[in-house]
Amino acid sequence: MTLQTPRFPGSNAERSRLWNRALVLRHVRTAGASGRAEIARASGLSTQAVSNIIADLTGEGLLAEIGRRQARRGLPVAQYAVAPSGGHALGVELRPDAARAVLSDLAGRALWSGRRALAHAGPDEVAGEINTLRDEALAGSGVCPDRLLGIGVVMPGPFGHTGLAAAATELPGWEQTDPAPFLESRLGCAVVIENDANAAAVAERLSGVAQGLEHYAFLYFGAGLGLGIVSDAGLLRGAFGNAGEIGHVRIDGRRLEEVASRVSLARRLSAAGHAAGTVEEIEAALDAPETGQWLDEAAAALGQAVVLLENLLDPQVVILGGALPDALIDGLISRIVLSPASLAARPDRTLPRLMRGAAGRMTATHGAAALVLDRLFTPRLDAA
Amino acid sequence: MTLQTPRFPGSNAERSRLWNRALVLRHVRTAGASGRAEIARASGLSTQAVSNIIADLTGEGLLAEIGRRQARRGLPVAQYAVAPSGGHALGVELRPDAARAVLSDLAGRALWSGRRALAHAGPDEVAGEINTLRDEALAGSGVCPDRLLGIGVVMPGPFGHTGLAAAATELPGWEQTDPAPFLESRLGCAVVIENDANAAAVAERLSGVAQGLEHYAFLYFGAGLGLGIVSDAGLLRGAFGNAGEIGHVRIDGRRLEEVASRVSLARRLSAAGHAAGTVEEIEAALDAPETGQWLDEAAAALGQAVVLLENLLDPQVVILGGALPDALIDGLISRIVLSPASLAARPDRTLPRLMRGAAGRMTATHGAAALVLDRLFTPRLDAA
DNA sequence: CTTGATAGCTCAATTGAATTGACCTTAAGT
DNA sequence: ACTTAAGGTCAATTCAATTGAGCTATCAAG
């Protein structure tokens, strides 16, 4: 084995097993409780192979038999389902001033959540705070430490040096540090790093409105406007992990973020004398005329952006979500008029072109946990 | 085995072998002639596994020992390289009025090329003409029929029913026919279908300027303007295979295709009395003032489009190419002023942000053949 | 000119995991 | 009761990768 994981690693019996294990778990999760034969048909494996894998997984507590059902003829099928408490993931959302965390089980349910203020958001302090959050989460939920599959961390992007003006959201002190290996060595467990939009996109696939979808885009309202692209059932991350910087795209001569973001709404509201620093305050100003004006303007710009995404990426659907009240997302969706001159205006559509994300405003934190769980359910050749 | 190939098929010993074979071939092709030990290090396989695979591949004629080189100490390494005549691919570019074809060897060299006029471009006639082209190609080049790995076909997209106005380039009679399975059954060999931009993008990776790159976008000048997106070393195809419709994207209120395409240039030239129906005629009018005006306007629009792509996809580079004279592509590249407010304006770049494609104006036809070859060199679990 | 180190490679045995085919179990239809 | 259908287990086989011992060719040092 090389030290540097190659782009395409060689395959062998053990990696085949890992791949097929993920295949079994994924089928059980997405298609619901299933019997061996059904999983075998869906995966192309022999029933015997599925049997062996199921024996492993039940032994490890990841899978559980949930009874037998006599459907048609024949022997009643032994139904297996993911055991929610077979594994857990800690999702951490890092912001310059605080870290939020959620401990989630395999079913995606939050067992514990917490928050810690950050005086400085540099690598050392962050590692320490995540460590504390993990301890609190495990203690507070009674979860056994060796049932923690990994920690997902959502950081504000873009990562590395780019031509984009350093937004106020970027974390200081991380310029020289590659977050994933650093945190992995400090925390002693698997760490997945993503930006908020990507995490939100993954969360929707795991337990939101994008279940079963393989191609979609998620427009994420954070401080600015982010974009998570899922293509061929995987995240599109780009050469440096920074794909999806849609906020800086110019629509009608203005950066999309200036028109369609929480910051742009807050600016408009506070100019009119409303407090608009938090989601709650924004929610309180739902009926303000400024909110209506913002909706109209934002919807016009977003409409063009969505058609742009449709034409470039040919997704099954575009999802809107993030740290905005559901009512505002719905308001945007109802106001957005999508051009029929788009790839996506196909007559045989089954899904709407726009949907609202299901995860609500804790999307990013939940998404961080979802990143870890997603790895368990996604066949991969490259690691354990 | 299921009949429908599942999204993620199960893995077994035989599929592992196929995967690892592709891994070996890919290394030898991209890194040049190599010895067993080097391939083993790069792939993470044991030297023994590499030995066995090399024995297979040389037996099949796909790989050949090209001598031994004593570099440093130790036993001189037996160097292996792809045997160019070990396999061939027929690339076919379908247009409404004609089909062009190239027979290419494993090294990407064209051994034969030809063209047949099409009276009707419906499925039956096209299958017949491709059959004839194959026979002519094999006869004309002396290649053994069982050395033909497959046929790559480039068709004008978008495929299926979309909201885009049916361009004049679309082929009639294919509305009800899924091209790949239809042609596969008619031609009795593997068939790969793509649009022109995707094929061009793959061609650049196999033998052009994108060798070794895993993230890039190819702006393709065909009749209109197409976009091939390579992400994570694979084509981004979208839910219905139509990703990359950049021609319909609006820049400053106009469809990009109206400003930056061969058709737009031809319209401008012919309004000024120049013939501009073919690439040759366009080449003859290189110094016309209308050409200069077109270059300025097209470059301005393309500059915005490129920054858009950079921000959405975070590619290593954006490549321009297709059926335009090299001088015009170079003219565009030199005129395009890229905003520094872009993800791609990172200080540590090693590649320019824009490059000209290497394949010239037969890009699409060569790309069609490259599609077939690419499969041989790309590890895949899903098929033979 | 010998000797040791280094690197590449081969042979034979082992191991991991999937497949195959025979057989068992349970239920529905006749 | 008997047949059919469906799910599942057991044991043997097969495929392909790994492991470790041993061979070969070259360079470098004594």
- Give the Å distances, CA to CA, from A375 to A151, A192, A244, A378, B247: 11, 9, 21, 5, 36
Best of A4, A8, A194, A316 to mutate (most B CBs within 10 Å, chain B): A8
Put simply, whether B384 touches A (Cβ < 8 Å) is no
User: Is there a contact between A187 and A127 (Cβ–Cβ < 8 Å)?
Assistant: yes
Provide the domain count of chain B.
3
* Domain match, A350 and A217 both: yes
CA of A56 to C1' of C20 (A): 22
User: Is there a contact between B336 and B302 (Cβ–Cβ < 8 Å)?
Assistant: yes
More confidently predicted of A116 and A68: A116
Chain B 47-86, residues with CB within 8 Å of chain A CB atoms? 49
* Domain match, B261 and B217 both: yes
Please check whether residue A5 lies inside any domain of the structure: no
Instruction: Taking residues B176-189, report their average pLDDT.
Output: 94
* Domain match, B352 and B317 both: yes
Beta bridge partners, B99, equal: B94, B116
Instruction: Tell the burial category of B51 from Cβ atoms under 10 Å away from its Cβ (0-12, 13-18, 19+).
Output: middle
Instruction: Please say if the pLDDT value at position A167 is more than 60.
Output: no
A134–chain B nearest CA distance, Å: 33
Instruction: Dump pLDDT digits (tens) for A17-76.
Output: 999 999 999 999 999 999 999 999 999 999 999 999 999 999 999 999 998 776 677 788
More confidently predicted of B7 and A329: A329
* Domain match, A282 and A373 both: no
* Domain match, B230 and B348 both: yes
Report pLDDT for B4.
47
**What does the alpha-carbon distance between residue B33 and residue B305 come to, in Å, rounded to a whole number?**
39
Please check whether residue B39 lies inside any domain of the structure: yes
Instruction: Please say if the pLDDT value at position A89 is more than 90.
Output: yes
Query: Which structural domain range is residue B25 located in?
Result: 13-82
Q: What average pLDDT does chain B have?
A: 92
B64–chain A nearest CA distance, Å: 22
Instruction: Please say if the pLDDT value at position A3 is more than 80.
Output: no
Q: At B299, phi and psi to the nearest 5?
A: -65, -40
More confidently predicted of B224 and A335: A335
Q: Which of B218, B221, B220, B223 is nearest to B236 (CA)?
A: B218
Instruction: Please say if the pLDDT value at position A384 is more than 70.
Output: no
b/e per residue B295-318 (b: at least 16 CB within 10 A):
bebbbbbbbbbbbbbbbbbbbbbb
* Domain match, B103 and B189 both: yes
Both tokens assigned to B72: 């440093």
Instruction: Taking residues A286-313, report their average pLDDT.
Output: 97
* Domain match, A143 and A221 both: no
Report pLDDT for A248.
94
- Give the confidence band of A168 by pLDDT, cuts at 50, 70, 90: very low
Q: Which of B339, B337, B344 is nearest to A161 (CA)?
A: B344
Report pLDDT for A383.
56
Instruction: Taking residues B234-244, report their average pLDDT.
Output: 95
CA of B69 to C1' of D29 (A): 24
* Strand D closer than 7 A to residue A161 Cβ: no
Please check whether residue B258 lies inside any domain of the structure: yes
Instruction: Taking residues B53-63, report their average pLDDT.
Output: 96
Instruction: Taking residues A296-301, report their average pLDDT.
Output: 98
> Which positions in chain B touch A312 (Cβ < 8 Å)?
227, 229, 243-246, 249, 312
Instruction: Dump pLDDT digits (tens) for A118-132.
Output: 998 899 999 999 999
* Domain match, B342 and B234 both: yes
* Strand C closer than 7 A to residue B13 Cβ: yes
A51, A82, A113 — which closes off a domain? A82
B113–chain A nearest CA distance, Å: 33
CA atoms within 13 A on the CB side of B251: 20
Please check whether residue B247 lies inside any domain of the structure: yes
How far the first Cα of chain A sits from its last, in Å, is 14
Please check whether residue A112 lies inside any domain of the structure: yes
Report pLDDT for A72.
72
Give me the CATH number covering residue B44: 1.10.10.10
More confidently predicted of A1 and B91: B91
For strand C, which nucleotides have at least one atom less than 7 Å from a protein CB?
A: 5-12, 15-21, 25-29
* Domain match, A177 and A224 both: no
Report pLDDT for A163.
80
Chain A 192-231, residues with CB within 8 Å of chain B CB atoms? 214-215, 227, 229, 231
B82, B113, B135 — which closes off a domain? B82
Give me the CATH number covering residue A312: 3.30.420.40
- Give the confidence band of B6 by pLDDT, cuts at 50, 70, 90: low
* Domain match, A72 and A167 both: no
Contact B43 A8 (CB under 8 A): yes
Instruction: Dump pLDDT digits (tens) for B90-145.
Output: 999 999 899 999 999 999 999 999 999 999 889 999 999 999 999 999 999 999 99
Instruction: Taking residues A331-339, report their average pLDDT.
Output: 97
**What does the alpha-carbon distance between residue A199 and residue A105 come to, in Å, rounded to a whole number?**
17
Q: Running DSSP on this structure, what letter comes out for residue A160?
A: S
A33, A50, A82 — which closes off a domain? A82
Put simply, whether B135 touches A (Cβ < 8 Å) is no
* Strand D closer than 7 A to residue A36 Cβ: yes
Contact B248 A342 (CB under 8 A): yes
Share of chain B above pLDDT 70, in %: 96
Q: Which of A302, A288, A213 is nearest to A257 (CA)?
A: A302
Instruction: Taking residues B156-177, report their average pLDDT.
Output: 74
Contact A6 B42 (CB under 8 A): yes
Segment among A257-261, B62-66, B74-78, B318-322 with least mean pLDDT? B74-78
Report pLDDT for A124.
95
Report pLDDT for B71.
65
Instruction: Taking residues B338-343, report their average pLDDT.
Output: 92
Instruction: Dump pLDDT digits (tens) for A197-247.
Output: 999 999 999 999 999 999 999 999 998 999 999 999 999 999 999 999 999
- Give the confidence band of A12 by pLDDT, cuts at 50, 70, 90: confident
Instruction: Taking residues A278-302, report their average pLDDT.
Output: 95
Please check whether residue B37 lies inside any domain of the structure: yes
Length of chain A: 384
* Domain match, A300 and A272 both: yes
Please check whether residue A383 lies inside any domain of the structure: no
Please check whether residue A6 lies inside any domain of the structure: no
- Give the confidence band of A174 by pLDDT, cuts at 50, 70, 90: confident
Instruction: Please say if the pLDDT value at position B339 is more than 90.
Output: yes
Contact B163 A26 (CB under 8 A): no
* Domain match, A353 and A260 both: yes
* Strand C closer than 7 A to residue A4 Cβ: no
Instruction: Please say if the pLDDT value at position B77 is more than 90.
Output: no
Instruction: Please say if the pLDDT value at position A97 is more than 50.
Output: yes
> Which positions in chain B touch A229 (Cβ < 8 Å)?
312
